[in-house]
Amino acid sequence: MVTREKCIDAIKRFRAKHAIDTSDENVIATMHLMNSYAVDVNAALDQSSRGANDRGIDAWYFDEKSGELYILQSKLSESRSTVLKGFSDLGRAQEWLEQVLVDGHVDAVPADNHCLFNLYTKLSSVKDQLRRIHLVLVSTHDRNDLEDSSEYGAFERGLVESPLNRFVQEHKGRLSPDIEVFNLEYGVPREIKVYPIPKIAEARILLRKAAYLDVAFVTLSSLIELYRRRGDVLFDKNVRLSLMYNKEARERLVSPMENTLDQITQGKMSPAIFPFYHIGVTISAASSSAKEEDAFLCLEAPSIINGCQTISIANEYLKRLERHKNEAALERFREIKVVAKVVVGTTTDELKEITNSNNRQNPIENWQLFSNESIHIEIEAALKDIGVFYERQKGKFESILKNSDSAKHYLNTNGTYIKVVDLAQVIALSRPQLLQWAAKPSEIFANKENHERVFDRSIPRYPRDMVFVSNIFKAMKRGLNKAALKKQVQHIQKG
């Protein structure tokens, strides 16, 4: 048995290192995939759930050589009764697998959950190769703690009588209920996952050896599929998450783009017009295994550093087309192409400047240029632990809180959140040598040195203090605003 405290410590380190904004149970499932099945971090993130509608599947792994599929349900609790509920969740996973493998169809393609989307597409290609399916409960408890329970017995009997069991037996395979303890021992992955995308020949700009920019001509639907496979982690290196829910952005970005997509999918405009209207997207990658003359780029750890809005808007639009099953409109949508710049092998500082430069066509404030600094990721995680939202990326509050499964982690946020600039002002106010920056917070974000003087490594240790002083700061501003307004009214009345 591994303790929950030890798991939480490992989760915090992993979350800070990889900037993963999801529940502890989802993080530990990702880590377990990496450590027990020798999966690299990008594949593990793609194959673990970070949202709602997971059908009882927190993570999965398919062994190509043996034909074995592992379905994981994660329970991060030391309470035996809580952990035993995982067998019920695995029952839901079994029912969904039966829809895919036995019935041959599901109610809807799971486009809202990248983990299920990836599993769904994998099962469609390996259905006849399955030799064994493991339904695994992963927790702090070992097999001896759980195997003699009535819940395990009922789950095992249900599997014996299930259509899924008959399916695997017909394929000369087996269905197995399994129990595993969270694996916190890191090992080297078998291989590094890459993401192939088509590219234009002879379109490479060299910065130096192993650092270059490729120009690729990709379909808009392929970018959406990459998003559905990777989830919001695809946008984590962007300075913004999504502005779709901002009124000004809806008028300036969403409505015009949706109008163009309407014209194309209704056959009133050619799909070829889209790249004429749109400046394209920029993708960063740790490396690319493709040669310049190859037709595909095989990217390691791809991230969208410009184009988040385009992909988010197009994804929502495509989901509507899929719901209405308008095949003619879907076919026209698939013909839409986008120019993509693919940046490979740059340094961290170069990538930050590239990201900032590529996002300047939409007005950005200086504080946003620091949104991906590790200190803000740690502050975000520390405040989330006490149920308070920290908006380190503009637009993230409305994007995350619209999902009820995500909102449950912010019970103490009370419809608002702590802003980066407000927190910076509060910290400056508490330090006499930085007091002038409280009145002019733009100076804090003028350069890296100023930023690090305010946001030092001690800040994430005091989440409750951050909340307390932020609330006082808000109250003071409200009071001053009301006093100023009252004085103005009195002045008008006297006049």
Mean pLDDT across 158-178? 92
| pLDDT for position 203 | 74
Most confident of 2-6, 86-90, 429-433: 86-90
| pLDDT for position 97 | 94
Split at pLDDT 50, 70, 90, the class of 427 is very high
DSSP 202: T
| pLDDT for position 492 | 53
Split at pLDDT 50, 70, 90, the class of 475 is confident
| pLDDT for position 449 | 87
| pLDDT for position 187 | 87
| pLDDT for position 362 | 55
Sign of the torsion angle spanned by Cα atoms 367, 368, 369, 371? positive
Output 301 or 264, whichever has higher pLDDT: 264
Output 173 or 247, whichever has higher pLDDT: 173
Give the residue among 118, 52, 54, 119 at the shortest CA–CA distance from 400. Answer: 52
Residue 382 has pLDDT above 80, yes or no: yes
Residue 17 has pLDDT above 60, yes or no: yes
| pLDDT for position 30 | 94
Mean pLDDT across 385-393? 90
Mean pLDDT across 367-386? 87
Place of tokens 């690319």: 288
Split at pLDDT 50, 70, 90, the class of 11 is very high
Measure the CA–CA gap between 437 and 425, rounded to whole angstroms: 7
Residue 322 has pLDDT above 80, yes or no: yes
| pLDDT for position 489 | 47
Mean pLDDT across 2-14? 91
Q: How many CB atoms neighbour CB 240 within 10 A?
A: 21
Lowest mean pLDDT among 116-130, 357-371, 375-389: 357-371
Residues 101-125 have pLDDT tens digits of 998 877 777 888 889 999 999 998 8
Domain extents for the chain? 4-181, 194-364, 373-483
| pLDDT for position 485 | 56
Output 234 or 109, whichever has higher pLDDT: 234
| pLDDT for position 196 | 80
Measure the CA–CA gap between 83 and 77, rounded to whole angstroms: 6
| pLDDT for position 202 | 66
* Contact between 303 and 237 (Cβ < 8 Å): yes
| pLDDT for position 120 | 92
To the nearest whole percent, how much of the chain has pLDDT over 70? 89
Altogether, the residues listed in the chain come to a count of 495
* Contact between 74 and 58 (Cβ < 8 Å): yes
| pLDDT for position 484 | 59
Residue 303 phi, psi dihedral angles, 5° rounding: -140, 145
- Alpha carbon of residue 172 to chain centroid: 38
Structure tokens at 65: 């050589």
Mean pLDDT across 201-211? 80
Structure tokens at 230: 């990777």
